[in-house]
Amino acid sequence: MAIEITIPRLGWSMEEGTFVEWLKPAGDMVQAGEPLFSLESDKVTMDVESLDAGILHLTPEAPGPGALVKPGQLIGYLLAAGEAAPGERAVTPRARRVAAELGVEVSQLTGSGQGGRVREQDVRAAAHSLPQEQTAPVTGVRRVIADRMMESRARTAPVTLTRRVDASRLTALRNRWKLKLQPAPPPSFNDILAKLVAIGLAQHPLLGGRWEEDRIVLPPAIHIGLAVDTEQGLVVPVVRNVATLTLTELAHRSAELVTAARQRKLRPEDVQGGVFTISNLGSYGVEAFTPMINFPETAVLGVGAIRWEPAVLPNGQIVAREQMMLSLTFDHRVVDGAPAARFLAAIAELIEEPRAAVHCP
């Protein structure tokens, strides 16, 4: 007997979600408990497990990557070997698997098998008549990223300030943590920067505020988002209460969030409540860029690569120093240029003299 596959409700408030991808190809045998497809709700992608066993059959209306779906929507069946789906013609399992691979709609085919059964050769013959075109599917995460970027551009007045800072003492501080914690991993540059940014936000709270209709709401606590590159796209998990965490605690929590992001195991609360975001492209060799505001936040800090460059000391001596570019994009509706510049200057001073703010035992 055919077993229906439907879209689950991932939360009590979920009215619709975004279908990310099938994790099993049509025609494959599925075991109970195996991940069957990925579904996205409120920026979090979750793998949905099969409740039963059977051969995966997709309905003609089965969603593809990026499709909007509703709880309870029928998207496929689990069938016994040789069983036809309700209301559909018989298709051999191999033909159904090949059809999924080649992008052929079996419901439109005339089968050459007994009783009109669609066979593999019918599918391959139909595939030869299809236009050969290469496309890249828009995944659910990619669609969310696109929507959020357009919302940020439409609902903020972004301005970007850049500043070069001496990162020599920042690098030295991290090296001290390496020696202290080896062989365990030390706090990352992002961890140290998040701690310094939290100090800066405590002094300049408008940069952590948000515009709400006729008022500006200041942050009740400092929760900082860290932009993470994953195979599915950009995700921004949020480290909560950064100001109250030790650097070791912050590093542990951020490592957990980064791992969860890359394994698609973030919870909805892991990506909510941020008041400021840090985006670091330094590991890719990027020296400066214009980061986009993670709406409804007011500002984002872009961090570039650390480079050895000549620097002139106050006594006129030219020496090699480690330099880094900071790019602060802020919403000019909330903050004017001068206060934003003062915040960026405060961050630069903390980076150039970080030991007093971030002590290494």
**Mind listing the pLDDT tens digit for each residue in 212-265?**
988 999 999 999 999 999 988 899 999 999 999 999 999 999 999 999 999 999
Q: What is the pLDDT of residue 360?
A: 65
Q: What is the pLDDT of residue 155?
A: 93
Q: Which residues contact 146 (CB under 8 A, 6 or more apart)?
A: 138
Using the predicted structure, report yes or no on whether residue 172 has a pLDDT greater than 90: yes
Q: What is the pLDDT of residue 88?
A: 67
Q: What is the pLDDT of residue 333?
A: 95
Question: What CA–CA distance (Å, rounded) separates 203 from 340?
Answer: 12
Q: Which residue has the tokens 């970080």?
A: 354
What does the mean pLDDT of the chain come to?
Answer: 90
Q: What is the pLDDT of residue 136?
A: 75
At 28, the amino acid letter reads D
Predicted confidence band of residue 280 (pLDDT cuts 50, 70, 90) = very high
In the chain, what percentage of residues exceed pLDDT 70?
A: 97
Q: What is the pLDDT of residue 201?
A: 97
Predicted confidence band of residue 85 (pLDDT cuts 50, 70, 90) = confident
Where along the chain do its domains lie?
3-128, 140-352
Q: What is the pLDDT of residue 347?
A: 98
Using the predicted structure, report yes or no on whether residue 131 has a pLDDT greater than 70: no
Using the predicted structure, report yes or no on whether residue 293 has a pLDDT greater than 90: yes
| Most confidently predicted of 83-92, 120-129, 291-300 | 291-300
CATH class for domain 3-128?
mainly beta
Predicted confidence band of residue 10 (pLDDT cuts 50, 70, 90) = confident
Q: What is the pLDDT of residue 196?
A: 97
The 3-state DSSP class for residue 339 equals: helix
Q: Which residue has the tokens 């052929």?
A: 104
Asked if residues 92 and 124 have their Cβ atoms less than 8 Å apart, the reply is no
Tokens of 228: 């993470």
Using the predicted structure, report yes or no on whether residue 142 has a pLDDT greater than 90: no
Task: Give me the phi and psi of 173, to 5 degrees please.
Answer: -65, -45
Q: Which residue has the tokens 């999924």?
A: 100
Question: What CA–CA distance (Å, rounded) separates 125 from 123?
Answer: 5
Asked if residues 240 and 223 have their Cβ atoms less than 8 Å apart, the reply is yes
Of 160-169, 173-182, 193-202, give the lowest mean pLDDT range: 173-182
**87 Rama sector, left if φ>0, alpha if ψ -120 to 50, beta otherwise:** left
Strand partners, 237: none
Q: What is the pLDDT of residue 251?
A: 95
CA 238 vs. chain centroid, Å, equals 11
Question: What CA–CA distance (Å, rounded) separates 28 from 7?
Answer: 19
Q: Which residue has the tokens 């790019």?
A: 327
| Most confidently predicted of 81-90, 141-150, 237-246 | 237-246
Q: What is the pLDDT of residue 74?
A: 93
| Most confidently predicted of 77-91, 195-209, 303-317 | 195-209
By CB neighbour count within 10 A (0-12 exposed, 13-18 middle, 19+ buried), where does 177 fall?
Answer: buried
At 193, the amino acid letter reads L
Of 65 and 197, more confident: 197
Cα distance between the two ends of the chain: 66
Question: What CA–CA distance (Å, rounded) separates 302 from 142?
Answer: 21
Where would I find the beta strands (DSSP E) of the chain?
3-6, 17-22, 29-30, 35-41, 44-49, 54-58, 68-69, 74-79, 158-166, 210-212, 215-217, 224-226, 228-230, 233-235, 238-239, 276-280, 299-303, 307-312, 318-331
Q: What is the pLDDT of residue 114?
A: 72
Mean pLDDT for 99-112 is 80
pLDDT tens column, 60-80: 889 988 899 999 999 999 998
Predicted confidence band of residue 43 (pLDDT cuts 50, 70, 90) = low
How far from 267 is each of 259, 263, 274, 347, CA to CA, in Å? 12, 12, 14, 31
Q: Which residues contact 17 (CB under 8 A, 6 or more apart)?
A: 7, 10, 39, 40, 41, 68, 69, 70, 71
Using the predicted structure, report yes or no on whether residue 132 has a pLDDT greater than 70: no
Using the predicted structure, report yes or no on whether residue 274 has a pLDDT greater than 90: yes
Q: What is the pLDDT of residue 305?
A: 97
Mean pLDDT for 170-190 is 91
Mean pLDDT for 115-141 is 77
- CATH number for 140-352 (one of 3.40.50.261, 3.40.120.10, 1.10.3470.10, 3.30.559.10): it is 3.30.559.10
